[in-house]
Amino acid sequence: MEEIGHWIDGKRVAGKSGRFADVMNPATGEVQAKVALASQAELDAAVASAAAAQVKWGATNPQRRARVLMKFVDLLNRDMDKLAEALSREHGKTLPDAKGDVQRGLEVVEFCIGAPQMLKGEYTDSAGPGIDMYSMRQPIGVAAGITPFNFPAMIPMWKLAPAIACGNAFILKPSERDPSVPLMLAELLQEAGLPDGVLQVVNGDKEAVDAILDNDTIGAVGFVGSTPIAAYIYERGCANGKRVQCFGGAKNHMIVMPDADMDQAADALVGAGYGAAGERCMAISVAVPVGDETADRLIEKLVPKIEKLKVGPYTAGNDVDYGPVVTAAAKANIERLVQSGIDQGAELVVDGRGFSLQGYENGFFLGPHLFDRATKDMDIYRTEIFGPVLTTVRAQTYEEALGLAMDHEYGNGTAIFTRDGDTARDFASRVNVGMVGINVPIPVPLAYHTFGGWKKSAFGDLNQHGPDAFRFYTRTKTVTARWPSGIKEGGEFSIPVME
């Protein structure tokens, strides 16, 4: 059986800890590989090597660093099919969805090619008599990213591309559930000209995560995953003096106003709720129709669309709408939450329980579920299910619908479907959620804007990609310069004032 190791100093290396985790094929339920789990000693050695490589890389001018990323983009396009196939094999998502995963990461790399512009400082001539003042953006040194299973190409690129563009070395700790694509990305970066050691990919579990958080050389850490782990990483990383950004769970609401195009709203909910089997932090998992008449019309539109969804393995190509969830444990947790919805009184309108696929009976497949008449005290509303389950909570007024999104502990994304510009504008202005869609169900910003939630969906002051990424991976140094000509003799004992 294949053993997947790490990427250290420009080559694949075997793990030394003797510990491994299973890499599953979610469609068959079979173990397809073993991935090495790094020890603290292995992680620390990778960091030491990265720190040595960073000195020369950080001194390389930004335009030359950008050229490596330019070549990397070409290679990503060249190997798109190969990357997508490897991603689907370990994650389970469909090939078109896997290509989208790679593409959205690629777009961030494209944005980072603009590093020479983004890294320019500010300059003030003659701030005082013979005095000039200017600022510089300098790399942190060594940064690290801890990334989730659900986007094994996109989120690693969201982390590593800006970090490398800024002149840092980078330690990537990807999910041990689907480790192949991050290693393939490392190979492509080496082919693009990235010096050995600037990117290290270290596979592992909590031991590797804690080693990252406790390593004194690592100056910045980014994480995407569940809220409890995000809070843990943020607190431990900050306590160790690191710059930390962590993105956690979500419960994204889509408000459907009475004047909305109901066909458009229903199509949006189906795609946003069930795509990738619901394993997206920006999935719409709560539909909030305003008024019972609106709710009845929406449910009437949704049911036949959901019942027609095709579930199957990625090898079925375009004949599949979504694939399995990632593990047997994830499937069991989703089934538990579905049962809690029934037990707590929600109406299960589309019942995906008992779904089985001939030839793939041991796979982690789930049929689509649709709940109606849920209430905000139910587990299916409060908890991030991360599966193909859409929950409908009926609101009687716009204010009640707005309040549902605002009162929930998560604040990652939200959307409103309406033809009324005043309502849409009010919603966008007032809702306390980080990313808002107006007649757009999954409002993931493009690479040149920033991605990030509010409330318990995010910890830290800066978002992912866009300009915030360059702020996160650099430190600002401000220089005040005066040359000897015309300087008066004698010391100054008061605070300098620019006259």
> Which sequence positions are flagged as catalytic?
281
Residue 91 identity (one-letter amino acid): H
* Interhelix angle 180-192/80-91, nearest 10 degrees: 160
Residue 187, classified by CB atoms within 10 Å of its CB into exposed (0-12), middle (13-18) or buried (19+), is middle
